[in-house]
Structure 1
Amino acid sequence: MAGAGSEFAPDSGLLRRAPVQQRSTERLERILDACAQLLDEAGYERLSTRAVAARAGVPIGSVYRFFADKRAMADALAHRNLDDFLGRTAARLAAPEAGTGWRAAVEILVDEYTAMKRTAPGFALLDFGVPGESNHDLAERLPALLGDRLPADPQQPRVRLALTVAVEAADAALQLAFRTDPAGDPQLVAETKQLLLAYLATVLD
Structure 2
Amino acid sequence: MVKEPDVRRRPPPLPAGVLRAPQQQRSREKVARILAATAQLLERHDHEQIGTKLIAAEAQVSIGVLYRFFPDKHAIFSSLMVHWLDQYLAAVESVVDAELPPTPSELGARLISAQVRVRRGTPGHRGLWFHAPPPPELREYDQAVDRRIAAVIHAALVRGYGYPDTADFRFRTELVVAATTQLLITAFKFAPDGDPKVLDEIQLMLDGWLFARAADAGS
Shared fold per TM-score greater than 0.5: yes
Q: 1:52 aligns with which of 55, 60, 68?
A: 55
Paired positions, count? 191
Corresponding residue of 2:180 = 170
Query: Structure 1: which 5+ runs fail to align?
Result: 1-9
Residue deviations 1:153-187 (CA, integer Å, cap 9, x gap): 58x48844x44543343233233333453322222
CA contact (8 A) 2:126 2:192 kept: no
CA contact (8 A) 1:117 1:123 kept: yes
Residue deviations 1:84-112 (CA, integer Å, cap 9, x gap): 3332332232333x415654443222211
Q: 2:94 aligns with which of 86, 91, 95?
A: 91
**Structure with bigger RCO (C-alpha 8 Å, 6+ apart):** 2
CA contact (8 A) 2:39 2:123 kept: yes
CA apart distance, 1:82: 2.5
Corresponding residue of 1:190 = 200
Q: 1:62 to 1:94 in 2, by over 3 A?
A: same
Given the two structures, how large is their TM-score scaled by the length of structure 1? 0.73
Which moves more between the two structures, 62-71 or 130-139? 130-139
Query: Structure 2: which 5+ runs fail to align?
Result: 1-12
Corresponding residue of 2:157 = 149
CA apart distance, 1:31: 0.6
Q: 1:166 to 1:45 in 2, by over 3 A?
A: farther
Q: Which runs of 4+ in 1 moved over 6 A?
A: none
Query: Match of 2:116, SS?
Result: helix
Structure 1 segment 124-139 matched on structure 2, within 5 A? 124-126=126-128, 131=133, 134=139, 135-139=142-146
Query: Match of 2:48, SS?
Result: coil
1:75 correspondence with 2:78: yes
Given the two structures, how large is their TM-score scaled by the length of structure 2? 0.69
Corresponding residue of 1:4 = none
Query: 1 CA distance for matches of 2:33 and 2:50?
Result: 16
CA contact (8 A) 1:118 1:124 kept: no
1:68 alignment partner AA: P
Structure with larger Rg: 2
Q: 1:118 to 1:15 in 2, by over 3 A?
A: closer
Q: Percent identity?
A: 31
2:197 alignment partner AA: Q
1:124 alignment partner AA: R
RMSD: 3.2
